[in-house]
């Protein structure tokens, strides 16, 4: 039986596949950590906005917009807190 080793091409292809898989894995991990960070920021934002609406936190850059629904006897208050690339929005409904 003729015994021969791997050719350079075979080794290089294997290394490229291994590197691709590792890079994909590392990117996935990076995305998971980024998602965790976003969740933490969102959690803090939600409670800060909630406290702001209850008058317990000042100086929050909240954008407020009032609108009303034509066929419904209600007014809609929209409160938006911008957190860079994310936005937290609360709606408050009240009778007209």
Partner 1 sequence: MNQNRGFTLVEVLVVLVLVGLVLSTAVFVLWHSSETGLWGVAQAEKTKDLAQTVWFLQNQLEGIYQKFALRRQGSQILIGFLTTCGEKYPGIVQVRYRVEGGRIYYCESPYPHGKLFSCPEGDERLLLEVSNFEVEAYNNSWQTNFTGVPQKVRLLINGLPVVAQVGTRLSLR
56 binds partner 1 (CB under 8 A): yes
Stretch that binds partner 1, among 2-10, 40-48, 66-74, 75-83 (CB under 8 A): 40-48
6 binds partner 1 (CB under 8 A): no
- Please tell me what DSSP assigns to residue 73: S
Judged by beta carbon, residue 1 or residue 67, the one nearer partner 1 is 1
- One-letter-per-residue 3-state SS of 39-81: HHHHHHHHHHHHHHHCCCCCCCCEEEEEEECCCCCEEEEEEEE
Judged by beta carbon, residue 2 or residue 70, the one nearer partner 1 is 2
């Amino acid at each position: 039986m003729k015994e021969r080793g791997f050719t350079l091409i075979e080794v290089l292809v294997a290394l490229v596949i291994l590197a691709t898989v590792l890079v994909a894995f590392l990117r996935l991990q990076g995305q998971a950590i980024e998602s965790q960070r976003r969740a933490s920021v969102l959690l803090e934002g939600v409670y800060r906005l909630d406290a702001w609406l209850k008058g317990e936190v000042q100086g929050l850059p909240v954008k407020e917009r009032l609108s009303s629904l034509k066929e419904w006897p209600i007014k809609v208050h929209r409160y938006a807190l911008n957190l860079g690339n994310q936005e937290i929005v609360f709606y408050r409904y009240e009778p007209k």
